[in-house]
């Protein structure tokens, strides 16, 4: 239990540091994002979503890529489980600056081509941060 808690704290700390390093120092707000959208989204939320800092739903989308099936599944499964524990604990504690975290972990089966497909799936999903790849082949 103690090791699990330590691992989740380490993963959570790494996530927070990674998110802090992804800030945008310049104001690159587009004119489309500065006006209120048709769905009633405020200009602040629209510019935040346009800059990639958080989605309109108030979540940070975190993607992961690793082998969940195949010969190297033990590595990917452990990383996925640790990341999910960290996400659950951070969300239970109120999230990051009020934003909840959402994890989407894709299986690359320890194959380079499938890792590229997993990356494209996460990009299409709107991932703002990606963990992985877990193994060296992808």
**55-82, pLDDT tens digit by residue?**
546 899 999 999 999 999 999 999 999 9
Q: pLDDT-based confidence at 120, cuts 50/70/90?
A: very high
Q: Which residue has the higher pLDDT, 110 or 40?
A: 110
Q: pLDDT-based confidence at 107, cuts 50/70/90?
A: very high
Average pLDDT, stretch 119-130?
96
Q: What is the mean pLDDT of the chain?
A: 74
Q: pLDDT-based confidence at 38, cuts 50/70/90?
A: very low
Q: Which residue has the higher pLDDT, 2 or 30?
A: 2
Contact 44, 3 (CB under 8 A): no
Average pLDDT, stretch 98-121?
95
Q: pLDDT-based confidence at 132, cuts 50/70/90?
A: confident
Burial (0-12, 13-18, 19+ Cβ within 10 Å), 25:
exposed
Question: pTM here?
Answer: 0.59
Domains of the chain: 58-138 (3.40.50.2300)
């Amino acid at each position: 239990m103690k090791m699990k808690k330590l691992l989740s704290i380490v993963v959570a700390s790494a996530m927070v540091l990674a998110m802090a390093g992804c800030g945008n120092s310049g104001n690159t707000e587009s004119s489309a994002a500065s006006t209120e959208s048709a769905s009633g989204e405020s200009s602040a939320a629209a510019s935040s979503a346009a800059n990639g800092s958080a989605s309109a739903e108030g979540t940070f989308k975190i993607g992961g890529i690793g082998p969940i099936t195949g010969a190297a599944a033990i590595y990917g499964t452990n990383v996925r489980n640790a990341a999910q524990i960290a996400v659950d604990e951070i969300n239970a504690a109120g999230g990051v600056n009020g934003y909840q975290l959402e994890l989407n972990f894709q299986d690359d089966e320890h194959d380079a081509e499938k890792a590229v497909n997993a990356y494209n799936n996460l990009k299409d999903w709107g991932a703002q941060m990606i963990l992985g790849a877990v193994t060296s082949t992808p």
